Chains A and B, each alone.
Chain A
Amino acid sequence: GQNIDQPTEMTATEGAIVQINCTYQTSGFNGLFWYQQHAGEAPTFLSYNVLDGLEEKGRFSSFLSRSKGYSYLLLKELQMKDSASYLCAVWDSNYQLIWGAGTKLIIKP
């Protein structure tokens, strides 16, 4: 079966750095997405990786290793507004999106 694993919850301190990991087992691979979802709101797009390596976008970076079936989202200089759930999703060989359950990130002052 297809599966995406991410930690259920993480806690970090304002101003610090946090890394949220995602491992996947899917039938084929056409790209990996990270979305942010604040409580009670819709998911919003953060990043897309299709090739191995690091994609940097401001305070957020996303890394992909296709051979390891692994990605991480790195958040730097954490702010209170970064408290949200972070969803990892993989496009399989049929371009169907497979979603992880999400990682709830709690930022403490």
Chain B
Amino acid sequence: IAGITQAPTSQILAAGRRMTLRCTQDMRHNAMYWYRQDLGLGLRLIHYSNTAGTTGKGEVPDGYSVSRANTDDFPLTLASAVPSQTSVYFCASSEISGSTGELFFGEGSRLTVL
């Protein structure tokens, strides 16, 4: 049982470089999310998608973009990485209806921008 798979698990990146974090789920969930988690702060929503073909901005979207071409995949792209984007990134998914809306998380991607 895979659930949600993120890649890479860890990456060191030079400032200015482009980076895509991959996220794939096999639970056929409609909704997917990207969060960043920084020490002392709660999970902050970057972007979300309620269904394939649609995306929305979260609390901290600047410098990030997403796409949702199909139900399973939800990649997050940093067009030109900056040191303030050093963080742990979590991808998550949930059903919208018929459940408590519990989020299932991937194992996280630790990104360091130098």
Interface residues, chain A, CB within 8 Å of chain B? 4, 8, 31, 33, 35, 41-45, 48, 87, 89, 91, 95-102
Question: Which residue of A is nearest B110, CB measured?
Answer: A40
A31 and B73 alpha carbons, distance in the complex (Å): 27
Shortest Cβ-Cβ A-B pairs, 8 listed: A99-B42, A42-B105, A48-B100, A99-B43, A45-B102, A101-B42, A100-B42, A42-B107
B40 interfacial contact with A, CB 8 Å: yes
On whether the beta carbons of A87 and B42 are closer than 8 Å, the reply is yes
Q: Is the CB of A96 within 8 A of B45?
A: yes
Binding site secondary structure of chain B: loop
Q: Is the CB of B101 within 8 A of A95?
A: yes
By a CB distance below 8 angstroms, the chain A residues around B43 are 43, 87, 89, 97, 99
Whether the Cβ atoms of A101 and B100 lie closer than 8 Å is no
Report A-chain residues with C-beta under 8 Å of the C-beta of B74.
none
* Inter-subunit contact B41/A101 (CB<8 Å): yes
Q: How far is the CA of A35 from the CA of B94 in the complex (A)?
A: 14
Inter-subunit contact A101/B40 (CB<8 Å): yes
Docked-complex contact A31 and B101, CB < 8 angstroms: yes
Q: Which of B102, B106, B107 touches A33 (beta carbons < 8 Å)?
A: B102
- CB proximity of B25 to chain A, nearest CB, Å: 13
* A44 engages B105 (CB within 8 Å): yes
